[in-house]
Structure 1
Amino acid sequence: MSGTDSLTGVDVLEALLDGPRARGAFLLRALLDPPWSLRIEDDAPLTVIAPLHASLWVCPDDGEPVAVPQGSVAIVRGPEHYTVTDTPGTRPDVVVYPGGRCTSTADGRGLWDERSLGVRTWGDAGGSAQILVGSYEGHGEASRPLLSALPRVAVHDPGPDGSPLLDVLVSELAVEAPGQRALLDRLLDVLLISTLRSWFSMQASEGPGWFRAQQDPAVGAALTLLHREVAHPWTVEELADRVGISRAALGRRFTAIVGEAPMGYLTTWRLALAADRLTSSDATVAAVARQVGYATPFSLSTAFKRAYGVSPQQYRQAPPPSLVAGAGG
């Protein structure tokens, strides 16, 4: 195939979106009476916040406050701490820690049981502000290009009709049934993916290189091929032939848009996939090497240690902290 008609850059976004997966995510509906302010120190790498009734502000420690209107969905990139409040400057009266543990800022007493309002609901009975919160406890290296392209707080307004996904998720929060936690995880994933896809689409020419590549038929098609056939023994010559342009033209355009040469991008992507598979499966290093396009486990180990500073086995035993933390938007 020499044309690009059947190849679209959407596949690249799909591949990156496959990284963030909820597995027992912390998910609840908070009811709060103003004035209210929550100090978030849960170290979550990614949190979805949706004000269902009344607007709110997300105030990062390292940035300006960001308004989140009622009906919008905010994606907060961690693990740095921040404050969620009805009005910037309101003094926090609650601190939230990993796993949903929360304490009073006044005297340090635990507040989870005291302010529990039933199944996955917490706060003030009859509170006028209602907020959906879903926190991811981890993510994979394969999602790093996507998450590092986000600002500290990304806000998406789905429009006057709101998001039907929010309605479904909220209705399921109060349900206790077999498999409910898995169902809620999947619903949270769908909300996150839908929000990210819409947010990136609004960025147009200001998006990251891998997203802007969709506007170039050849580069977008080349990226899609690299993601779709990651284990293939690619050369720049074959890749250029598959998308129908010269080797020199592909190398020049790919580097200008994406920020690195095709084979450099492929190496980074292969190693990110390998890192994910080492920590999410029991596959041997040899099997992982084959899955991501390395002929031998030794060749994978050499490249992996050069990129991550540890061997694949060492990474599997003790994955380092996410490299997304502190990445620029």
Structure 2
Amino acid sequence: MTYITSSSAPNDMAAPRQLGTTGPRVYPIALGCMGMSGMYGASDDAESIRTIHEALERGVTVLDTGDFYGMGRNELLIQRALDGRRHDALLSVKFGALRGPDGSWLGMDTRPAAVKNALAHTLTRLGVDHIDIYRPARLDPHVPIEDTIGAIADLVQAGYVRHIGLSEMGVDTIRRAHAVHPIVDVQIEYSLITRTLEAKILPVLRELGIAITAYGVLSRGLLSGSATTGASDFRARLPRFAGEAGARNRALVERMRAVAEARGVSLSQMAVAWVLAQGREIVPVVGARTVVQLDEALGALGLVLTGEEGGRLEEIAGEVEGARYDAHAMGMLDSER
């Protein structure tokens, strides 16, 4: 793995990054808003809004959400936060996931009519006239990707969408989608612990000039030492957090933390800095829910890892046990096929 070396100016890390060859230039870290609407347990709307405001004040441009986060509540929260400030933010929205009234996951629907229906409700909840980057959350096995992307392309032509992205798609799907309309970025999990995209997906994205918005850079809080908060925290069902594997992984994280403490920084900052250093086409999506968490994450922009530090972190991370989702959710990931 190649690192940005200590001879590189740290300020270079804070330079804007390009989302694909046709997309916007953005701040090098995006703010993921999912955790502000209950996925990790109880959240505080007032603190979430303060965090969004602070992010915008600090220069963050991309706010990432999904129309199914909190059953639409996340979009309504962002609407409140962006009141009078729409011009400061680029909205990245995922759609297509079906949920029941009990919060259960029912599959995907990315038929052309469903795409346009979903966008209509998203525009209403967010109180805006366009979405900057619109993307299916997962591949719908019953709908050709060409049909889905074609429907979004119609929305681009009509002015309701500016750019098209993908989420957790494999190389064949990426190529087929990009042939219909330029794709500016693929949102996919990428961290010290989750690196499967490096084998096949990353080379194709670089070939096609498509960026990565990398979520899970802290492995859903594992790398920050975050503990699950109860039954409403979906991480309690993830293999990396549960049972004996969870206990072993927490011990491994303590070993990684020692590497960071020797440098006088947090492990969270080193984890974000590691992702930033893997390429200028990669924009980490940090799921900060508080101003304190946001401030810590943005501190990674001034951090340049040495090869020794990066190598040691990777060595320890390679011992982590467990898949990133449970078996059912992993089966829905086109990127893992």
Interval of TM-score (by shorter of Structure 1 and Structure 2): under 0.3
Q: State the TM-score, normalized to the length of structure 1.
A: 0.27
The structure with the largest alpha-carbon Rg is: 1
Q: State the TM-score, normalized to the length of structure 2.
A: 0.26
